[in-house]
Structure 1
């Protein structure tokens, strides 16, 4: 059985503030506020736990407000292998009004050499040939741009499968390395940054993803927001689209898609079925605040309605 581990080096408490209308420069009265312990890998783990899969979280937490994370891990039965350091985990603001969500991401804790050694020690103990590891999110201050590339090589050297969900220079460095992840999950903008050109049409997205596959990444999944997602591997490309659904919160939707992708890979599903599960996770999360899924039966019902069609590679 595949064991799942997620790594979050720059976690956050997502503070969602609901407003009647966001007006720059104005004073606002919040209609509601909620805090969710998060960060990409932690959000992925949260959704996988809701699905019923055992999952381990690793990363770095500030001791000053670790309680929010510990409560989440305890409530969902997630194994906590995070390294605690002095200070507080950052708080990210998400300002929600009828026009959408405005994100204000604050800087995180600095990652010192001793902390990084402690994280690497956890990974050495917790990974091996039966593990699928998710490396997700931004890198904190003190981390070198090539850290994900280094960790990918270390993990794959132990036989671990690696899914990378990152952006900017850390993603570019990982994709330029000799040892590549088994799966990468960029969104359209992140793929455009890597490709160095706009990708306005679905065929453009597939072409750039296919370039990554030719580079040596076995599977590329590109999230496209309301347009669903594209899944590309050698000689196969699929476009998956979930039905329209009432949205309670978009926070963590991309991470839910990653969780669904991981669930499909861990179960060794066909690519089309993995795509259905991934889109169902994302759509199901939209009906819930925070990185939380509805019941398994509801997610499975959504999966049956996901449209999957083959594309030309």
Structure 2
């Protein structure tokens, strides 16, 4: 494993942990016909993975960000090009071989996207342990009181489910804050470590609670159950696609309604929302303002392919269009 770093005099405001990044191979189709020959209208290859998407959206908004994690040496050039173009500090470890490649099939007739995601690199237990130690060292060098760290995305094969939990404890020991956006066992274990904010989608929240959820009131009740647990986060944000997103803390529950906008691709819209949530925390915004800005980030991302955002002025204008409803 080859570590890479470009430490600068100015520390990043946000560190995104990208343990399982990807190259997203997006194909646009007029209509996806399963089991038949399909002719693509357009193809695009973008650097992706949740942590990298978050850092890229923040960089477009003018927030100095950094990425740590692992990427494959064989196709690292595309990641480096994105980092250099956007001024994202690169603190990734370079592994032999390729970073995984995911395929996105965009059906223009229905506006839906079908994801075919690869699992990621397989490492030995000793290699995973060594990589985690390198990540902890990087975090120690970059994180200080008030810093934000985003732990998001799937874990590569054979990584322990408590990986994010350990990183959350480490960040907190340095005085930093953590937003957790994961699923399954990684999310459940990470939640027990007391992240400051979590952002599950509806299915992920149902899995955490252990029951199906239908209706806004039931989602708010589930979020409040999480807020009442030991080591609870300070805020639960639940993305619900076209129904908007719920922003819940111990004082309020707000539904941010989705903004009607041109849909180019839904890929990365949740990651853009995470970026907007963190940007709002850096600006010290109240829950209502956070909900508006995060929803604007997500809506803005829908109009772009790849991990890119329109101008900050456009995003802030969209935030003014967000309608909020107070729940309960």
Paired residues, number: 310
- Mapped partners of 2:99, 2:272: distance in 1: 22
Number of the residue aligned with 2:182: 166
- Mapped partners of 2:29, 2:251: distance in 1: 47
Tell me the SS of whatever aligns to 2:254.
strand
Number of the residue aligned with 2:162: 146
- Mapped partners of 1:142, 1:76: distance in 2: 32
Number of the residue aligned with 2:200: 186
Deviation at 1:243, TM superposition (A): 2.2
Number of the residue aligned with 1:196: 210
Q: 2:219 aligned to 205, 220, 233, which one?
A: 205
Q: Which runs of 5+ in 2 are unaligned?
A: 1-10
Deviation at 1:2, TM superposition (A): 8.0
Q: 1:254 aligned to 254, 267, 270, which one?
A: 270
TM-score normalized with structure 1 length: 0.96
- Mapped partners of 1:148, 1:110: distance in 2: 18
Residue deviations 1:245-303 (CA, integer Å, cap 9, x gap): 11111111010000000100111111100110000000011111112111111111110
- Mapped partners of 1:11, 1:301: distance in 2: 31
Q: 1:105 aligned to 112, 117, 120, which one?
A: 117
Number of the residue aligned with 1:281: 297
Deviation at 1:4, TM superposition (A): 0.8
Asked if residue 34 in structure 1 is aligned to residue 48 in structure 2, the reply is: no
- Mapped partners of 2:48, 2:40: distance in 1: 21
Asked if residue 127 in structure 1 is aligned to residue 137 in structure 2, the reply is: no
Residue deviations 1:66-118 (CA, integer Å, cap 9, x gap): 11110000111111111111111000000111221110001211342222222
Residue deviations 1:110-139 (CA, integer Å, cap 9, x gap): 342222222221112111213110001000
CA RMSD of aligned residues (A): 1.3
- Mapped partners of 1:295, 1:95: distance in 2: 27
Number of the residue aligned with 2:236: 220
Native 8 Å contact 2:245 2:258 kept in 1: no
Asked if residue 232 in structure 1 is aligned to residue 248 in structure 2, the reply is: yes
Number of the residue aligned with 2:3: none
- Mapped partners of 1:142, 1:198: distance in 2: 28
- Mapped partners of 1:2, 1:83: distance in 2: 18
- Mapped partners of 1:2, 1:210: distance in 2: 32
- Mapped partners of 1:19, 1:145: distance in 2: 37
Residue deviations 1:197-248 (CA, integer Å, cap 9, x gap): 1111000110101111111211111001111110111121111113211111
Native 8 Å contact 2:26 2:43 kept in 1: yes
Deviation at 1:20, TM superposition (A): 2.2
Q: 1:85 aligned to 90, 95, 108, which one?
A: 95
TM-score normalized with structure 2 length: 0.92
